[in-house]
């Protein structure tokens, strides 16, 4: 039995999206797209995320029944995580 699982831990490491001027910004320097962060569910539906206010991220469709899979940048299609200290807001 393998007791050293560093490979999968590194694979799960997603950089958190940045918050700049009230917009979610892709953390990858060669992309840095603004307001392109989306939620992906297991059926590959997407949910647009925008900053609503300090510490609040608005979920575009307001569908809280999403079977959450991950977050990614719609511009460069790479996985990201959400910035610390923010809560998701469903309209
Ligand atoms: Zn990007």
> Could you read off the pLDDT tens digit of each residue along the chain, which spans 91 residues?
445 444 444 446 799 999 999 999 999 999 999 999 999 888 778 888 999 999 999 988 766 677 888 899 999 999 999 999 999 887 7
Domain ranges for the chain, please list them: 9-89
Cα(22) to ligand 1 centroid in Å equals 17
Place of tokens 């831990």: 9
Name the burial class of residue 72, with classes exposed (0-12), middle (13-18) and buried (19+) by CB atoms within 10 angstroms of its CB: buried
- Supply the pTM of this predicted model: 0.65
Report the separation in Å between the CA atom of 75 and the middle of ligand 1, taken as the mean of its atom positions: 5
Handedness of CA 67, 70, 76, 82 (dihedral sign): positive
CA of 77 to the centre of ligand 1 (A): 6
């Amino acid at each position: 039995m393998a007791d050293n699982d560093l490979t999968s831990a590194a694979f799960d490491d997603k950089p958190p999206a940045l918050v700049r001027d009230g917009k979610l910004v892709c953390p990858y320097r060669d992309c840095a797209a603004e307001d392109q962060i989306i939620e992906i569910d297991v059926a590959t539906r997407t949910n647009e995320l925008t900053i609503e206010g300090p510490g609040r991220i608005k979920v575009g469709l307001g569908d809280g029944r999403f079977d959450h899979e991950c977050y990614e940048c719609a511009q460069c299609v790479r996985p990201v995580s959400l910035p610390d200290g923010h809560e998701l807001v469903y309209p």
